[in-house]
Every structure is written in structure tokens, then in C-alpha cells.
Structure 1
Amino acid sequence: MNIRSPLALCALLPFAFASAADSEVRAPAQIIAEAPDDHWRPADLDNTLYLDTVEGRVIIELSPIFAPAHTRNIKALAREGFYDGLAVYRVAEGFVAQGGDQSGEKPIEGAKRSLAAELTLAELSPEAFTPVAGPDGYAPQTGFVQGFPAARDPDTDEAWLAHCQGAFAMARGAELNSGGTEFYIVIGQAQRYLDRNTTVFGRVLEGMTTLQKLSRGEGPMGMLPQPERNRIERVRVAADLPEKERAPLQVMKTDSDSFRELIAARRHRPEDWFVYRPDYADVCAVGIPLRAAPELSAQVSDK
């Protein structure tokens, strides 16, 4: 099995083994390795973007549940080739990488240049939410919804996506509804103070190392004086590409028993290496495991 999550890879270090005393909670590496196939789902090709840059590919899964209009619009922009030849023109170290049409002048065909912000989901039932126990400084409750780190207000059932590392969101100006084409990705630590201030509508499945290779901006707010150094070759919807060009990725289901146990393991840290166990897990520190489809792994191993 090919584990693709950076946090999952950390769990495979030599010290990551559960002790007998903590046998009720398995180590993260064991949970991921032994998760049954029905605890995984294929990445949604109809709602996955391939952002191809000069440094490589970034794979982004979108969330039409939380931001249907933004999801539709960026897919329309991708399909009309809007981003082809543009750039990731703002890269602020430890913060965000922002791309699109810096000039604001590139013609748009059928998509929209600006949209009404989709900051929250008006109602999310508790059954659709996999919680992370414990306090949070930015929300009454945090957890996961269909593969995305999220937050929720149990008093109103309102929910929203969280600005964890890899969050894919729409940049905007001072006007709330001014965003529509300029996306940004959180490349540093979680920027939770931005929650409910911009539209988060996806997350990076694979390609954070690609983003880290981009040239950093030296100007104010990380703007690049030569943005073409971070040229965007193209952005495409995965489902629109031939099968041979798609990445057959699977994401652990965040409503599965394996993922619930993984949350507990991140909280209690059963590995022998740990001297101090904080009995706490932040929603942004619980990585969602990713793997290549088993049939692909079998083909590779047979060669």
C-alpha cells in the first residue's frame, strides 16, 4: 500500500509502535496500514483540480457541499483555460500561495469574475460531522466532513471549512463578495483566524512539496516582482482528462471507524517514543490519509 499523507509518513518512523499498555489505541501507522478497503473512497474526479505549475502538479479536491457556486465557477474557469499561462504571483513564506490573474484584465467567457461569498453552511446535522474532542479557540466544535477539516456550532448546526494547511480558498478585496478568480492555498501553519472571512472550498490532496518549491515574493505581502517565475501551465478538472493522465488516489473516509480511531491515536499518542502525551489533538494536526488505489499498487508490485 502506498501511503501518500505527510502525516502518515511521519507515523512510519522507527519509533512509531504501540506499547502493550496502550494497546486499546493502535499507533497511527498501524491504523492506516490495516484500514479495510471500505474505509477508503476514491477522490472525486468531477470535483478535483489538477493545478500544473512550473514546479509540478498540485491536486486539489473541491467541496461542492460547502461552496457549490465557487466549485462550479472555478471548474468553469478551468474548462475555458482561464488560468493557463497565469501565475502564482504571491507567495508569502509560512502563510499562503495566491494565484490567478493579477491584472484583473484577462477576459472571462462563461464563468463569473466575482461571486457571493459562501462562508458557512447554514445547517449540518451532527451525524454528518466527525468531531475532534476538546476545546478550540476559534469554534465551539471542530471535526471533519467528507474529507475536509471543518468547524461547527452545535447550537445552530452552522458549519464551515477550516483554514488548515492545504486549505484552498478564494481571495477577496475589502468587499465581501469581490472574490471569484484569485485562489489561495495555505502553505504554512494553520491560519484559523481567517475562518468565516473568506470562502474555503477545497483542500490540497497532493502537492504541498510542489508549492514549497515556488519562488517566494520579496515585495509587500509576498508579491513577486517577476510572477512568471511561478507560471501556471494549466488547470484542469481531473474528470476531463484521459484516464492515463489521472492520479488514482483514495482518501480515508472521515466518517469511518478507522479515521475515528486515528483521531484518538493523534490525541493519546500510544507510540513508545512519547514521554509526554498531551491527550489533545487539534483538527489541523489530524492528517487525512491518502493512498494510491490498491489495484495500481498491485500492478506496480508485479513488475
Structure 2
Amino acid sequence: MAVDLNGAMVFARVVRLGSFTKAALELGLPNSTVSDRISDLEKALGVSLLVRTTRKLHLTDAGEMFFRKAEAAVAALVSAGEEASLFQKRPTGTLKITAPADFDFTPICEAVTEYTRKFPEVKVELLLTDRLVDLVGEGFDIAIRAGPVGDSTSTAKPLGSSGLILVANPHYLKTSPAIAHPDDLAFHKCLVISPEQNASSFTTWSLVSADGGNAKIVPQAHVSSNSVGAIKHLVSIGEGIALIPPTLVRGDISANRMVRVLPEWSTEPWPSYLMYTPHRKSSPKVREMIPLLEPRIRDVIE
């Protein structure tokens, strides 16, 4: 039985976006056309794929199975189209990049600025999020990730490793008890980063020293926040000590606005990676961005 590929593509976008209206807008089609194509697809397959209520769409069991395979097929078709378009020499379209919310966006923005000045016809979308983005399913071209990559289908290019460091405002340290060992943090105000999706992950600060020492500290959180920017600001105005990515405070340390506390201690280094699906690397829009992005991120991490 032949399956209408256009109908399958429309169905996959409706499910991914959770809305007929959003899918119609993205695809540039009238709502009625989107509805008709899915109805025709259901008739051709002889099964119901979606249950539609006034507020939400629900997949049937058959719809769930069809969606998984249809989305993979649509991604393969998009890949084939992109590879076929490699005969063009100049990047076009939209370049989608994602990185962790607490990553230093400065080198990314520098690379994007140079890129868009060189290729003004390309639109760049940058998503900073702690959520693990599905590169293929959500149509992203490049991802910057820290820690385990968790995606065997993508190419992961190592960029370097770094651990979190302890920092404070110099004035705070002058007016607070001396710190000679991580255990002394029990007598200090601690500012704790607590990501929404895993709030318990930072309830213990696990530190290692250059000479092989280990320390596990349960910080008494003076303030906790899922926003690294908020914690960094609180450090800068002297509200306490935080364990923070070094890439975000290098400038503050160089300008003496912050001081590294216990400089021989940090968390275990986590690797960072530049990731992309193999077929996207050969796309002109991705191929031209990688040499702008990679060295800048390496410099910041190292």
C-alpha cells in the first residue's frame, strides 16, 4: 500500500507541535488543508491516528507507532534534500544551534556575528536550555553539550574539559571567616545553582584538589536559583560563595571583581562537545559555522 508522504509529513509536524494551527503556520498551509491531509491519511491507512479534543491532541496506539516511523522517514527525506542541495556553494535557510543555559554565550555570539555578516541571507536561531534537545526530531543543526553526550547517532567533537570553581566577591571574603579547606564553607553563605529538572543534583558539592584530595560538602544555601546569571550577580554584590562554571567568571576574576576561593579545588572536569548529525556537517550552512564556532569555544574552555 502506497503512503502519501506529504500527508505523513503533515501528520508528523502536527504531532511534534501539538497543534493543527501551529503546523499549518509552519508549513504555510491553510488549517483546512492540514486537517484534510490527515483525514485522507487515516482513510488510506484504515485506522484512526489522532483523537482530537477542544484542548489537546492525543495519539492512538496506531498513531504512536506510525508517528515514530513517519518522523524518522521525514527526517531521512529532509536529509536527502539537504545533501542534494550541496551543489549550491553558499549557505541558505535557517541555522539552528543549541547550548546549555549556563554555557558562556560570548564565543557563540561572536561566531554568530561573524557568520551573519558573512552570510546575511542565513537566519540563525540560538536556543540556550538545560533540556536535552533532540537534534534530529527538532531540526537542530549544531549542539554544544557538556558531560555525557547521550546520542550515538550524532558526531561528537571534543572541545575540552573544565570543572566548576568556587568564587566570591573580594569584600565578602575580607569580612568573613578564613577558608583553608572545603569544610570551612559550612561557616559561609553559599549560593546554590539548582536546575529545575534536577534540583537535587547540586545539594552536594563534590570537590577534588590538584594533589588528589576529595571533599563532599552539603552547602547551607543562603540563596538557590535555577538561574546561573542570578547566582553570578549575587556573588558579584557580595552575597556569598558559589560553585560556578569558570567560563562565566573569567572576566570578573581578571578584573578583580571576583576572587577564586580555594583555587586548588574544583569539581571533576566535565568534557564539552560540538555535536551535529553526520549528514548536516556537509551542509553549507553548517560547514561554514563550525570553523568559526569551534576555536572560540576551545579558547574559552582551555
Please indicate the TM-score interval, normalised by the length of the shorter structure: under 0.3
Larger RCO of the pair (alpha carbons < 8 Å, separation 6+): 1
Larger radius of gyration: 2
| TM-score relative to the length of structure 2 | 0.23
| Normalised TM-score (structure 1) | 0.23
Greater helix proportion:
2
